[in-house]
Structure 1
Amino acid sequence: MSIPEQNKELVLTAFDTLFGKRDYEAAQEFWSEKYLQHSRHIPPGREGLFNLVRALPATLHYDNQLTVAEGDYVMLYGRYSGTGETASVVADVVRVENGRLAEHWDVWEDEATRDESASGLPVFGDRFAPDRAR
């Protein structure tokens, strides 16, 4: 398996461990102690990310639609829902170093309804979520 393929598998497993299973102890093995966070939505460092997830409802759900990797970088295109707020469609970019998630950037947007979509197309998946998924 190539390094980019290994990195894709690592990042998807890390996201499932933190956002899906909410296993913070196991997640520590995936995120570097020196983790750098470049998001305006997430406090700095690994603990900033973990504390944010701890504060979100247990109904938080992450759906991944696309994973692309090149070298040490992995980009996930996915949807975060189940928080009671409008679902967010996010491009997460992660840099992997020594087999751990070392750095993160993201681009967020609220999921659009059919009426809000100027193109008439959904921003995630192949159909609009019913009544603005939360």
Structure 2
Amino acid sequence: MTNAAEVTNKALVLEAFDTLFNQRDYAAAERFWSPDYIQHSAHIAPGRDGLFNLIKTLPPTLRYEPGVIVAEGDYVIVHGRFSGHGRPVAWIAADILRIEDGVLAEHWDVLQDEATEAESQSGLPMFGNRFPR
């Protein structure tokens, strides 16, 4: 795959995540997720509907902030922060997505509660350049 395709895939993931998680525009989000979407996350029900239905149950304060994003071939990995989901601390996520025919076809993730400065053994924040308040 060319570098241009990888740039396109990264932009697709960022627009898809913003549309679903921040804008909560489910009709528009359907164009980004394959109807045959494969979900590997243990905490999300199967398919596109499983993901959309989960997001519908979360508070309207849910926000997603992307950080580092890399692409290789049909795969994109984005390091981001989910906040406002109703839990005491934000989640830091590494989302791995496989792109097929211009849509998100498959997903894996790794989630971790965001550490405070007092909890950080390294003394560095897990996301961005500052610790959560």
Give me the TM-score of the superposition, normalised by structure 2.
Answer: 0.95
Identify the residue that residue 120 of structure 2 maps to in structure 1.
Answer: 117
Partner deviation per Cα, 1:4-29 (whole Å, 9 max, x = no partner): 01101111111111001100011111
Identify the residue that residue 87 of structure 1 maps to in structure 2.
Answer: 90
Unaligned runs of 5+ in 1: none
Equivalent AA in structure 2 for residue 96 of structure 1: I
Unaligned runs of 5+ in 2: none
CA RMSD of superposed structures (Å): 0.9
Match of 1:76 among 71, 75, 78: 78
Greater displacement, 47-56 / 114-123: 114-123
Structure 1 vs Structure 2: percent identity of aligned residues? 59
Q: List aligned pairs for 1:1-134, cutoff 5 A.
A: 2-85=4-87, 86-130=89-133
In 2, the alpha carbon distance for the partners of 1:89 and 1:72 equals 23
In the TM superposition, residue 69 of structure 1 has moved relative to its aligned partner by: 0.6
SS at match of 1:2: helix
Give me the TM-score of the superposition, normalised by structure 1.
Answer: 0.94
In 1, the alpha carbon distance for the partners of 2:25 and 2:36 equals 19
Equivalent AA in structure 2 for residue 94 of structure 1: L
Aligned residues: 130
Partner deviation per Cα, 1:79-116 (whole Å, 9 max, x = no partner): 00012211000000000000000000001100001111
Greater displacement, 116-125 / 91-100: 116-125
SS at match of 2:8: helix
In 1, the alpha carbon distance for the partners of 2:86 and 2:116 equals 16
In 1, are the aligned partners of 2:65 and 2:81 still within 8 Å (CA)?
yes
In 1, are the aligned partners of 2:58 and 2:86 still within 8 Å (CA)?
no
